[in-house]
């Protein structure tokens, strides 16, 4: 077994026992990145020198007996919309091509304190808008299981990097599925915490009422270990919640006998990929074998959630992206030919700096917020959001959690959905509801279908991360397939 194949749990044990130094582990990952990232293009930036220096410094601390967290010395990647002081943070956009973060996001700060070694920043759809990573202004990340396919998005770089063993774990952000969908496509674990569980401070905002940062890991236990470090109230994010952070690994081993799992019938519809349906149903049968009580439930507003999401998200995004005006941040067209007044600085900077999908959403958002249309679109979409929240709280009176597919299909081909944005939006159909309802959800690998991973999604009650992690962990222990990315042995 190669060092870069270690899970977080395994790496932490070896580092703690001093069987392995952070430097050895970091070198192994840097070599791995050199070998495979040319094909995968998961990273936008690799910080070789800094990573090696940090690893050496951590090794010194450990030698002095200062071991204090399972993240000590562990090589990590961050999605490039999460700020890390001094490093470029592009959000996958030309408009932020040369933007250097002047402070650490709260999650970055916490991971640094826990002793991570930051390897670099990973690719994403521009401003996290997309489901394939093809909207990045810089490069197209490939799925490590099949290089002709997408890794999913928008945290596709993070998911591909974990799947291809280019880091021990990565962070992504999930506004409408961007942690879970790429995790499902790449055969790794992706967790979106409850809205408010993890601070959004230092995450480049997409839709502030949905955005959450979450871990992308090789195992469920690793996701719990990472959540332990990043969760909690933060004075810099007023929507973060002041609830105690439990040890998320504590309940993993609990039996799930008698736990009530609801299967929303609206998630198994005609037209969905048969292989995905079969795999997820088999996984649900496994949960039953483990003693879970499975029952069909109905979430009728599911059918409206996607449409409402694609009103609310552009509305919030158009407001959040107003700050990129060629004056305050990033690229500026000032001084270019025919840019001779303030208005043309704004408009040319935005015209040159934003890609098509971002422009499309700014236009949709501005339109739906405009006077006369606000009630017809934005307010109605907010009403649907309230109904989705209500529907979740009602169904959680009857069952403890929900099990669904994460995605309607396996990873699609590069280019397949680019020409038609609506088909791209449809790939979020199973993931957006959890963001609309603010509830936690996890995607766990559940099968391989023709060489491509399939994910099952578990959706929990607000702040019941421990419970979905428990069920996900118990399920994961029964898995008897092997996930071997195409590039495992280059």
Q: Which residues bind ligand GLN (CB under 6 A)?
A: 128-131, 154, 173-178, 206, 313, 428
Nearer to ligand GLN, 81 or 466 (CB): 81
CA dihedral defined by 192, 194, 199, 200, rounded to 10 degrees? 60
Nearer to ligand GLN, 178 or 470 (CB): 178
- Report the nearest approach of ligand GLN to the CB of residue 175 (Å): 4
Separation of CA 331 from chain center = 26
Cβ atoms of 216 and 188 closer than 8 Å: yes
Least Cα distance to 194 among 261, 229, 241 occurs for 241
Q: Which of 154, 173, 349, 433 is catalytic?
A: 154
Query: Secondary structure of the chain: what % helix, strand, coil (to 5)?
Result: 40, 15, 45
Nearer to ligand GLN, 15 or 429 (CB): 429
Least Cα distance to 152 among 171, 125, 127 occurs for 125
Catalytic residue at 178? yes
- Report the nearest approach of ligand GLN to the CB of residue 403 (Å): 21
Q: CA neighbours within 13 Å on the CB side: how many for 33?
A: 29
What is the biggest distance separating any 2 CA atoms in the chain, rounded to whole angstroms? 70
Q: CA neighbours within 13 Å on the CB side: how many for 424?
A: 24
- Report the nearest approach of ligand GLN to the CB of residue 174 (Å): 5
- Report the nearest approach of ligand GLN to the CB of residue 211 (Å): 8
Cβ atoms of 42 and 185 closer than 8 Å: no
Question: Whole-angstrom Cα distance, residue 147 to residue 270?
Answer: 29
Q: Which residue is nearest to ligand GLN (CB)?
A: 178
User: Facing residues of 170 across strands?
Assistant: 77, 216
Cβ atoms of 174 and 82 closer than 8 Å: no
- Report the nearest approach of ligand GLN to the CB of residue 178 (Å): 3
Nearer to ligand GLN, 45 or 316 (CB): 316
Tokens 């690229």 correspond to 331
Question: Whole-angstrom Cα distance, residue 186 to residue 161?
Answer: 9
Nearer to ligand GLN, 246 or 421 (CB): 421
Q: Which of 28, 178, 279, 332 is catalytic?
A: 178
Catalytic residue at 79? yes
- Report the nearest approach of ligand GLN to the CB of residue 19 (Å): 38
- Report the nearest approach of ligand GLN to the CB of residue 55 (Å): 31
Question: Whole-angstrom Cα distance, residue 84 to residue 82?
Answer: 7
Q: Which of 9, 79, 110, 461 is catalytic?
A: 79
Cβ atoms of 204 and 192 closer than 8 Å: no
Alpha helices in 217-341 (DSSP H): 220-230, 274-289, 302-320
Nearer to ligand GLN, 204 or 487 (CB): 204
Nearer to ligand GLN, 176 or 326 (CB): 176
What are the angstrom distances between the C-alpha of 405 and each of 273, 279, 359, 384?
A: 10, 9, 31, 22
Question: Whole-angstrom Cα distance, residue 2 to residue 28?
Answer: 8
Nearer to ligand GLN, 115 or 156 (CB): 156
Least Cα distance to 193 among 461, 474, 471 occurs for 461
- Report the nearest approach of ligand GLN to the CB of residue 305 (Å): 13
- The catalytic site residues sit at 79, 154, 178
């Amino acid at each position: 077994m190669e060092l870069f194949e270690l899970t977080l749990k395994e790496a932490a044990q070896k580092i703690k026992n001093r069987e392995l130094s952070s430097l050895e582990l970091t070198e192994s990952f840097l070599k791995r990145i050199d070998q495979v990232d040319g094909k995968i293009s998961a990273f936008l930036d690799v910080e070789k020198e800094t990573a090696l220096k940090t690893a050496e410094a951590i090794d010194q601390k450990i030698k002095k007996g200062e071991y204090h967290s399972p993240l000590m010395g562990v090589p990590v990647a961050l999605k490039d919309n999460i700020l890390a002081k001094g490093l470029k943070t592009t959000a996958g956009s030309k408009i932020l091509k040369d933007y250097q973060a002047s402070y650490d996001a709260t999650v970055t700060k916490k991971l640094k304190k826990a002793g991570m070694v930051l390897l670099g920043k990973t690719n994403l759809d521009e401003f996290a808008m997309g489901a394939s990573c093809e909207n990045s202004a810089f490069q197209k990340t490939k799925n490590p299981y099949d290089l002709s396919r997408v890794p999913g998005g928008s945290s596709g770089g993070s998911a591909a990097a974990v799947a291809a063993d280019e880091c021990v774990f990565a962070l992504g952000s999930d506004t409408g599925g961007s942690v879970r969908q790429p995790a499902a496509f790449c055969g790794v674990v992706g967790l979106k915490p409850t809205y408010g569980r993890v601070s959004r401070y230092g995450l480049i905002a997409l839709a502030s009422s949905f955005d959450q940062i979450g871990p992308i890991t090789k195992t469920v236990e690793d996701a719990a270990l990472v959540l332990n470090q990043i969760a909690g109230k933060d004075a810099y994010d007023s929507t973060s919640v002041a609830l105690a952070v439990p040890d998320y690994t504590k309940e993993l081993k609990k039996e799930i006998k008698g736990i009530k799992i609801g299967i929303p019938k609206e998630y198994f519809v005609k037209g969905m990929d048969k292989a995905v349906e079969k795999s997820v149903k088999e996984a649900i049968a496994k949960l039953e074998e483990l003693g879970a009580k499975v029952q069909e439930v109905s979430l009728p507003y599911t059918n409206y959630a996607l449409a409402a999401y694609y009103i609310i998200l552009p509305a919030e995004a158009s407001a959040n992206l107003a700050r990129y005006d060629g004056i305050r941040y990033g690229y500026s067209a000032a001084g270019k030919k025919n840019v001779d007044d303030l208005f043309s600085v704004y408009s040319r900077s935005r015209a040159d700096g934003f890609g098509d999908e971002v422009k499309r959403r700014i236009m949709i958002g501005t339109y739906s917020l405009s006077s006369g249309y606000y009630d017809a679109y934005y307010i109605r979409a907010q009403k649907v959001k309230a109904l989705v929240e209500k529907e979740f709280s009602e169904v959680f009176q009857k069952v403890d959690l929900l099990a669904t597919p994460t995605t309607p299909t396996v990873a699609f081909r590069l280019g397949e959905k680019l020409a038609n944005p609506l088909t791209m939006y449809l790939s979020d159909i199973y993931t957006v509801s959890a963001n609309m309802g603010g509830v936690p959800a996890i995607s766990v690998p559940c099968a391989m279908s023709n060489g491509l991973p399939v994910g099952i999604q578990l959706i929990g009650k607000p702040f019941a991360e421990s419970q979905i992690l428990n069920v996900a962990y118990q399920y994961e222990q029964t898995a008897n397939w092997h996930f071997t990315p195409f590039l495992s042995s280059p």
